[in-house]
Structure 1
Amino acid sequence: MKPEFPAHDAPDDARSRRQIAPVICYPVDALPPPDLPALHKARDGWEQISETLVPPRDARCFDVPAGHFCRIVSVEGPQVGDLNLWSADLSERFFSSKTRALHGTHLSTGDRLWSSFPTLRPMATITDDTLDWYGFDGDGLSVHDVIGSRCDPYTHNLLSDGGQYHHCCHSNLTRALAKARDLPLDRAEALVHDVLNVFMCTGFSRQTGQYLMKASPVRPGDYLEFFAEIDLLGALSACPGGDCGTLHSSDQAACHPLLVQVFRPVAAPEGWRAPDVNGYDRSHGGLQHR
């Protein structure tokens, strides 16, 4: 049972402490902004080279070569998708918490998806988002979050008195990666990581700090589009929560497929080159072991 909150009286200077102005933890002014006009121009005359339909309550992998575009499209009804990205050789993976620290809790056009340490470089740049009109609603919720991890069978087991459910996004992504790279399930599971929750509408309760969700505003024809900065392997799960307006990890919600399309531009965007890996020397202020 949680203790009564608050358990302590506020000090005399509580009001002044609360009124201290916040500062942004990681100002990104030093980062070169993406050249969105050049990226958008590169779409002229592009050619679709692949299409992957992700079934409801399941996941599929797909390849996006560097310099190509990818769209995740709503095709039948409101549906949330959990997206993992890796470098094609699996040595880098999407770093959702650092992406959140740099760009915010929810992503849209112009934001980048950053890779894990030690490379910490852009893996992809979001180039279009048909839900950018939504912004933050009156409950403080928005779409395309990097605050939730992914629905998983372990949390489901804890909260459902031992339930065994195999179509949580974590399990879906694990199966998809294992199949795509011919890996045993335990090896694939170790590579599955926190996601970009595509189309999901989420936020935090100002009263309790709890993670909130509501029915996604996505409709058929809406899409999130990104440009691959490096050779990518993606995996997308069509969440068993459907539009995530009611439940996670169940067969009760209405679920729909999602479509992944990959496009090859006629030419690379003007001035674009693949990003270098992070320039930190990795000495960590200590002596190198011999």
Structure 2
Amino acid sequence: MSQPPTDADARRSIPPVICYPNDTLPVPDMALYASALATARVTDTATAAPRDACHFHVPGGCFFRITCTDGPQVGDLNLWHAQDLSERFYSGKTRALHGTHLTTGERLWSAFPHLRPMATIVEDTLDWYGIDKFGGAVHDVIGTRCDPYTGNLLQGTQYHHCCHSNLTRALAQATGLRADQAEPHVHDVLNVFMCTGFTRDTGQYFMKASPVRPGDHLTFFAEIDLLGALSACPGGDCSSEHSSDSAACHPLRVDILTPDPDSLTGWQEPAKNGYDRSHGL
């Protein structure tokens, strides 16, 4: 390690600046969403089996709820515009706008050039967890998804039931695409119920036992027509490992909830981003 300069402490003491102040973001009408949710009824259900994934459709103006049913379990969520796979969830920009972990009132944003809200979180039964003494928190947009390529790189394995592969199969089943055609559309996830952070000493991404228990749920309002895929991670509650056949795993349920149309008076699908796309040319 190089010798620190004489003004090292002064350099470290410079206060941080928030990269993307979000006080000018469009504010979701949470009261309207709560009123609409109170009228909603379950109109469809999908289940992600342990170490597998499910797919589901949510019309814009409806809700979907991910529920822990049988035991502690985390899930990896992908979202696409139901009619255009190029408009997909952008975890990196969502992280930049809201932070490393999401909760009620925060949104999942779509990729360039669309950059608009895809879904808004309206209920989070784990919002009490906050940030623990290790820096851990729930529902992260910092992890990617467990995948067979990293497993092969680090351990020489050929594992087919990691979240990346599960999501690939689910998207292929939903669209009729071959696996090799579906795979490029699989993207970084919202790690639902997963408890994660970065170590203070080495800055490494960590996971720890999820605080989720049966009955806990995360509910979203679909701002646009959505195709979703949810993988029940082979790591179970991610207390020790992932991409594993030894961890205790449980299913996750996805309910689609349709509200009374009159309860959403005034709501409109968000417009796509207004940048002119000329890029200075």
Using the size of structure 1 for normalisation, the TM-score is 0.95
Q: After the TM superposition, which residues 74-113 of structure 1 pair with which residues of structure 2 at under 5 Å, given as runs?
A: 74-89=68-83, 90-113=85-108
Unaligned segments of structure 2, at least 5 residues: none
Find the aligned partners of 1:175 and 1:26 in 2 and give their Cα distance: 35
Find the aligned partners of 1:107 and 1:96 in 2 and give their Cα distance: 11
Contact 2:196 2:208 in 1 (8 A): yes
Correspondence for 1:14: 8
Find the aligned partners of 1:46 and 1:110 in 2 and give their Cα distance: 19
Correspondence for 2:41: 47
Unaligned segments of structure 1, at least 5 residues: 1-6
Is 2:232 the counterpart of 1:238? yes
Find the aligned partners of 2:134 and 2:38 in 1 and give their Cα distance: 38
Q: Helix, strand or coil: the match of 2:246?
A: coil
Structure 1 counterpart of 2:256, from 243, 254, 262: 262
Correspondence for 1:222: 216
- Between stretches 22-31 and 92-101, larger displacement belongs to 22-31
Correspondence for 2:64: 70
Contact 2:86 2:185 in 1 (8 A): no
Find the aligned partners of 2:38 and 2:199 in 1 and give their Cα distance: 43
Find the aligned partners of 1:269 and 1:151 in 2 and give their Cα distance: 38
Is 2:158 the counterpart of 1:202? no
Find the aligned partners of 2:37 and 2:180 in 1 and give their Cα distance: 39
Specify the code of the residue in structure 1 equivalent to 2:39.
Answer: G
Contact 2:116 2:270 in 1 (8 A): yes
Correspondence for 1:28: 22
Q: Helix, strand or coil: the match of 2:264?
A: coil
**Percent identity among equivalent residues?**
67
- Between stretches 40-49 and 70-79, larger displacement belongs to 40-49
Correspondence for 1:3: none
Find the aligned partners of 1:205 and 1:45 in 2 and give their Cα distance: 43
Find the aligned partners of 1:211 and 1:233 in 2 and give their Cα distance: 29
**How many angstroms does 1:45 deviate by?**
2.3
Find the aligned partners of 1:50 and 1:236 in 2 and give their Cα distance: 15
Q: Helix, strand or coil: the match of 2:103?
A: coil
Find the aligned partners of 2:167 and 2:207 in 1 and give their Cα distance: 21
Cα displacement string for residues 229-249 of structure 1 (whole angstroms, at most 9, x for unaligned residues): 000000000000000000110
Specify the code of the residue in structure 1 equivalent to 2:111.
Answer: S
Find the aligned partners of 1:258 and 1:177 in 2 and give their Cα distance: 17
Correspondence for 1:191: 185
Is 2:267 the counterpart of 1:272? yes
Cα displacement string for residues 195-244 of structure 1 (whole angstroms, at most 9, x for unaligned residues): 00000000001111100110000000000000000000000000000000
Is 2:193 the counterpart of 1:168? no
**How many angstroms does 1:262 deviate by?**
0.5
Specify the code of the residue in structure 2 equivalent to 1:88.
Answer: A
Find the aligned partners of 2:265 and 2:196 in 1 and give their Cα distance: 36
RMSD of aligned residue pairs (Cα, Å) = 0.7
Find the aligned partners of 2:265 and 2:209 in 1 and give their Cα distance: 39
Cα displacement string for residues 89-129 of structure 1 (whole angstroms, at most 9, x for unaligned residues): 22300000000000000000000000000000000000010
Is 2:149 the counterpart of 1:154? yes
Specify the code of the residue in structure 1 equivalent to 2:142.
Answer: I
Moved over 4 A (4+): none
